[in-house]
Structure 1
Amino acid sequence: MKSKRMALPVYSSMASTLSIATDWWEEVNESAVWQNRIFYLISALFGLVSTFACIQYIRIEYRVPEFGWTTQKVFLLLNFLVNGVRSIVFACRRSVQKISPEIFQHMLLDMPALAFFTTYALLVLLWAEIYGMAQGICTDGLRPVFCKINAVVYAVQIFLWLLVWWKPIAVIIALAKIFFAGVSLLIAVGFLLHGGRLFLMLQCFSAESYGRQKKLQEVGYALATCFICFLIRCVMICFNAFDKAADLDVLDHPVLNLVYYLLVEILPAAIVLYVLRKLPPKHYRASTVDAAAAAAAAAAAAAAAEA
């Protein structure tokens, strides 16, 4: 009897805490002031990531202007554009919600997500090229495959937008969201496959120096973060497609928007940009792959030869 009496206050306290949290959640979601604050916070975070990508791009361009358009430069430029557009959209989120017809709202919110897919598919391509170069495998076919996959994804998405515009019924809107969930799953599998192979290859040579161990850890963090974030994105979009309570394209879910975009776009972008912060050496020349990638591949190949 005594244990039951002791348990009652605990359950009562938990219920009270849950009730307070629920009330706070509803108050924040329904408050226009809190909505604006959170959307401005999301805008500021995207703006910081965009600024960092721009600074990194300028540093590389100033350091080695003769490189031309390398994979690393394109990746940084896309990060600058994607996060910059996201920052502007969330700064004007209340105005975006008033745009008519509604299809243009979907396009403004979905187009940066498509560009985000292209940006991180480019990172998967970069890692696949590094692995191929280190293993002596021909990588000439990777870039055409990358372009074809992106062309198909964009073509299908444009078709779905037109379909939603023509007949905006719940089934078609859900189908468009499920397609994007599939795209997110595709990129997650790409990170697991190509990033995982690169990580395992570098792991074989990481014991030689502290610098290599540190670089291996950074690649591992970037790989794990990107895989988990795209997987979370896939699951969240599936919920978004069938559950109105998980809808992200509305004003009265600001906390959900903050958690979602922090996990699936801001965090992976920040970590990957940190991993790619090192500038290429001045004396190195690169043509098709960026200097950092070529140097990593050369180091891995040399280590393999020594072994």
Structure 2
Amino acid sequence: MNVIVNGVRAIVFGFHKQVFLLHPKARSLPTDKLRISYAAINGVIYVIQVCIWLYLWIDDNSVVEFIGKVFIAAVSFIAALGFLLYGGRLFFMLKRFPIESKGRRKKLNEVGSVTAICFTCFLIRCSVVVLSAFDSDASLDVLDHPVLNLIYYMVF
């Protein structure tokens, strides 16, 4: 399950990186600093998440668990906004491109649909994690139920 989830995550964040870097490239702007900032931001987020997991492993604290859930919700919300902002900009920039071609239409459909799907999925994930943070009955801890775990990660 972890291999599938990590593979999907790598594909989504790989596309997010492409959308993040394509817009400046299309305007002939330098992307060297964007690559460094993208990698640094992702690195910081992963380090914070690992620190939260380690702290919870050492001392199972409900306050830290709440903070971890809110952190994941905030990261999911920011990712959703990132997809909407950069994917939307790229979509409208491609739409304004004057030459009518099959490749342009294909890329326009690809960017528009992936942007909409990723924005929607991250926003739903944010909502579900926030709900689980504030409602103890809506737990996302489905590790004892592999089928529920599969459904959760495949849907959200």
TM over 0.5: yes
TM-score where L is the length of structure 2: 0.84
Aligned to 2:37: 145
CA shift, 1:82, in A, is 4.2
Contact 2:21/2:35 (8 A) holds in 1: no
Q: Are 2:106 and 1:227 equivalent residues in the alignment?
A: no
Closer/same/farther in 2, CA of residues 255 and 165 from structure 1, 3 Å limit: closer
Q: 1:244 aligns with which of 124, 136, 141?
A: 136
Q: Which amino acid aligns with 1:172?
A: V
Contact 1:202/1:216 (8 A) holds in 2: yes
Closer/same/farther in 2, CA of residues 247 and 239 from structure 1, 3 Å limit: same
Offset from partner CA, 1:190-216 (integer Å, 9 cap, x none): 111111111111011276124422321
Structure 2 distance, partners of 1:223, 1:169, is: 37
Contact 1:206/1:213 (8 A) holds in 2: no
Structure 1 distance, partners of 2:131, 2:149, is: 12
Aligned to 2:66: 174
Structure 1 residue matching 2:137: 3-state secondary structure: helix
Q: Which runs of 5+ in 1 are unaligned?
A: 1-42, 44-80, 87-111, 265-307
Contact 2:56/2:65 (8 A) holds in 1: yes
Calculate the aligned-residue CA RMSD, in Å.
2.6
Contact 2:73/2:126 (8 A) holds in 1: yes
Q: Which amino acid aligns with 1:170?
A: S
Q: Which amino acid aligns with 1:241?
A: A
Q: Are 2:32 and 1:135 equivalent residues in the alignment?
A: no
Aligned to 2:155: 263
Structure 2 distance, partners of 1:184, 1:149, is: 14
CA shift, 1:160, in A, is 0.9
Aligned to 1:66: none
Q: 2:84 aligns with which of 164, 185, 192?
A: 192
Larger of the two Rg values belongs to structure: 1
TM-score where L is the length of structure 1: 0.45
Q: Which amino acid aligns with 1:122?
A: G
CA shift, 1:151, in A, is 1.6
Q: Which runs of 5+ in 2 are unaligned?
A: none
The percentage of aligned residue pairs carrying the same residue is 39
